[in-house]
Amino acid sequence: MTEISASAIAINAPTKRWHLGILSAFVLVCLWGLVFLSLVEKRQQVIGDIYYFSTADTALTVEQAALVDEKTWQSIGSDNSLGMSDDAYWFRFSVPDVIRQDSKEKLLEIDYPMLDHLEIYLVNQSENSFDIIARHQLGDLQVFSQRPIDHAVFLVPLTDVERISHIYARIETAGTVRFPPSIWLANDYIAYTTQHASIMTLFFGFMVAMAICNLFFFITTRSMTFLVYTGYVVTLGLSLAALHGFAFQYLWPNNLYLQGRAIAILASLTLCFAVVFSNQTLDVVRYSKTIEKFLKFLAGMFFVFSLVSWVAPYAIMIKLLMLMLIIAVLSILACGIWLSARGSEVARYYTLAWSFLLLSAFSATLDNLNIVELPVSSHYILIFGASVETLLLGLILAMRYSQQRDSLTAAQAIALEQEQAATKAKDELIKVQQESQDELEYKVQERTLELDLALRELSEANRELEQLSAMDPLTGIPNRRHFDKRLLAESRRSRREQTSLAIAMLDIDHFKQVNDQYGHISGDQCLQQVAKILTDALKRPTDEVCRFGGEEFAFILPNTDVLGATQLLENIRLTVEASEIETDEHTFKVTLSAGVTATTMRREGEELQLLEFADSLLYEAKKNGRNCVINRAFSDKQQDY
């Protein structure tokens, strides 16, 4: 009882410290987020009302847009978001006199870097005239270096501002249509950009640090959860960098194809890693295999979606992505809440961590779909949610790993005790086995003598069986199986000793006619007599003739060149031609055709090519009228290649 209480205290103390650390980090990150959002809210727009209209006529010029009836122009309001549409949108606002009268250098900012095509017209417009002072063509489907000012968002210098009365803008994009313009004094914008860049640098530096740390944890622990979390942090950081224009500015400024699809690809991969990480960290399989399979299916869908996003139209994919994002939000939150209700401590903090990112993503989705109006840009909401969620998830992952390590230590202690008990039982078993072994040794020796005798008898039977299996039962000479083994052995000897090996393929001419005219029994007797003639013709013990199949025979002639093998086969052909085949009922003559070749083996497997070449020479002998021997060195075949 004392040991159990001590273990409980040892486990609960680190757990309480983890809880305190998570809550402290949560408070600090929330305070940082409030400071960040308050900084964003300090930016002031110094322009008046903005008017817009949409048209399916994508060829409409700015002069024609200026002549559109005033009733067609509508006020955009404070949201600056018009949802998604394939139409072209025209925007117009007037430059206040207080700005025109100030001669200081000014900039026009369009703080939404995800517009595909953006044209800005600086116009001097009156009742009788319409002069275009400057025209700028921007958009994230245009090479970054062509922008008038290198910046993540769209910036246009307002030169001769005193002449500019109105500013027109034309937008055509596959995503959400937003037009949040601001006119800045150049010095003020530099100060704002410096402050903004510092915050974004801290955020992305934090994401990089989290990714590197967890990658190192994966390398040292080999835990796939750390690798999945690293992938999640990397893809999440890249997604936010793409949303804010930093990825296009620094990572792929000339890759318009990737820029046009980066959000759909990266966001899909982020959701894929998020679902896999949720499945692993929450250990869902312990509670429900059905939900675990559903999460795997959802992760697979996101992965396939990321692949399809490389080729599918962005306008379709981004809408589907927002729908899938809502599904992911509801699924992960529901899973976390359900596991929290089941008593999972990790799931409670996990749900808290994910709530910030998922709810911020959900809010951003509703904002992009123009369902709700948010006082802060959806991009900054995602930054805030990602900061809170990434830090808390990192702490939860460390807590999870610590708990697993403690569980592993306890399991190892139990395993050690079990191993000691098993060792003791093993010693007792060895003692019993030793006693049994002494008793069995005598019986084993007795059985061994009987077994040796049986093995010798079996070995002799096997040798006889092997000899029988290597012989052709009809002709009494070796069969094809023996030929293959002998050919392999002699080819290796030829290659090892660099001696010539000759192969001859021989065939009885018109043997089918013998069977048809005299019967198959006479044909079998013919094969037997021809086989005896072939065997008697061999004088060296190393030479061998085998029945290759049907009426075909094959010769293996080690240490023999082409001329020697040809002379032997020619003598055999003449002997058979002069001999009479005597069967029980008939007497007749047959002739032979043969193909002969030889070579010195140089590489493994060349014997099959040699045999094939000899067979082709036999076929050539048949074509030349039969009853002849065709010979050719194997090197002639190689020259043909």
- CB of 594 closer than 8 Å to CB of 629: yes
User: How many CB atoms lie under 10 A from the CB of residue 348?
Assistant: 17
- Give the C-alpha separation, 98 to 202, whole Å: 37
- Give the C-alpha separation, 509 to 573, whole Å: 11
Lowest mean per-residue pLDDT among 109-113, 168-172, 560-564: 109-113
What is the three-class DSSP state of 541?
Answer: coil
Tell me, what's the pLDDT at 145? 82
The yes-or-no verdict on residue 21 having pLDDT over 80 is no
- CATH architecture classification, 480-640: 2-Layer Sandwich (3.30)
What is the three-class DSSP state of 499?
Answer: coil
| pLDDT band per the 50, 70, 90 thresholds, residue 503 | very high
The stretch 306-312 carries a mean pLDDT of: 88
Q: What is the pLDDT of residues 51-77, one digit of tens each?
A: 889 888 888 888 888 888 888 898 886
Tell me, what's the pLDDT at 573? 94
Q: Give the DSSP letter string of 594-635.
A: EEEEEEE--STTHHHHHHHHHHHHHHHHHHTTSS-EEE--HH
- Kindly name the residue from 109, 389, 544, 551 that is annotated as catalytic: 551
Tokens of 396: 């939860």
- CB of 266 closer than 8 Å to CB of 235: yes
Lowest mean per-residue pLDDT among 152-161, 329-338, 526-535: 329-338
Tell me, what's the pLDDT at 160? 79
The stretch 225-245 carries a mean pLDDT of: 85
Alpha helices, DSSP H, located in 246-313: 246-250, 256-259, 262-281, 289-308
Active site residue 551: yes
What is the three-class DSSP state of 34?
Answer: helix
- Give the C-alpha separation, 164 to 304, whole Å: 50
Residues 6+ apart with CB under 8 A from 574: none
| pLDDT band per the 50, 70, 90 thresholds, residue 251 | confident
- Highest mean pLDDT range out of 32-41, 157-166, 327-336? 157-166
- Give the C-alpha separation, 513 to 520, whole Å: 10
The yes-or-no verdict on residue 104 having pLDDT over 60 is yes
Tell me, what's the pLDDT at 9? 37
The yes-or-no verdict on residue 311 having pLDDT over 60 is yes
- Give the C-alpha separation, 320 to 340, whole Å: 30
Tell me, what's the pLDDT at 1? 39
Enumerate the domain spans of the chain: 480-640
The yes-or-no verdict on residue 337 having pLDDT over 50 is yes
Tell me, what's the pLDDT at 502? 95
- Give the C-alpha separation, 95 to 45, whole Å: 12
CA atoms within 13 A on the CB side of 315: 10
The yes-or-no verdict on residue 621 having pLDDT over 90 is yes
Question: For the chain, what is the mean pLDDT?
Answer: 81
Lowest mean per-residue pLDDT among 60-69, 316-325, 345-354: 345-354
User: How many CB atoms lie under 10 A from the CB of residue 343?
Assistant: 8
Lowest mean per-residue pLDDT among 7-16, 153-162, 451-460, 573-582: 7-16
The stretch 453-471 carries a mean pLDDT of: 70
Tell me, what's the pLDDT at 487? 93
Amino acid at 128: N
- CB of 285 closer than 8 Å to CB of 54: no
Q: What is the dihedral of CA 520, 525, 531, 536, to 10 degrees?
A: -170
**φ, ψ for residue 640 (rounded to 5)?**
-65, -25
Tell me, what's the pLDDT at 639? 47
- Give Dmax (Cα) for the chain: 132
Between 574 and 253, residue with greater pLDDT = 574
Between 106 and 486, residue with greater pLDDT = 486
Q: What is the pLDDT of residues 280-291, one digit of tens each?
A: 877 788 888 888
| pLDDT band per the 50, 70, 90 thresholds, residue 641 | very low
The yes-or-no verdict on residue 13 having pLDDT over 80 is no
Q: Give the DSSP letter string of 369-398.
A: TTSS--SS-HHHHHHHHHHHHHHHHHHHHH
Tell me, what's the pLDDT at 404? 65
**φ, ψ for residue 509 (rounded to 5)?**
-70, 135
- Give the C-alpha separation, 135 to 152, whole Å: 20
- Give the C-alpha separation, 518 to 512, whole Å: 10
The yes-or-no verdict on residue 78 having pLDDT over 70 is no
- Highest mean pLDDT range out of 228-237, 347-356, 431-440? 228-237
Tell the residue number behind the tokens 């009987």, with chain if given.
450
The yes-or-no verdict on residue 28 having pLDDT over 60 is no
The stretch 386-401 carries a mean pLDDT of: 68
The stretch 392-411 carries a mean pLDDT of: 70
Tell the residue number behind the tokens 């809408």, with chain if given.
319
Between 619 and 129, residue with greater pLDDT = 619
Tell me, what's the pLDDT at 121? 92
Residues 6+ apart with CB under 8 A from 191: none
The yes-or-no verdict on residue 79 having pLDDT over 60 is no
Closest to 593 measured CA to CA, from 565, 630, 633 = 630
The yes-or-no verdict on residue 371 having pLDDT over 70 is no
Between 201 and 3, residue with greater pLDDT = 201
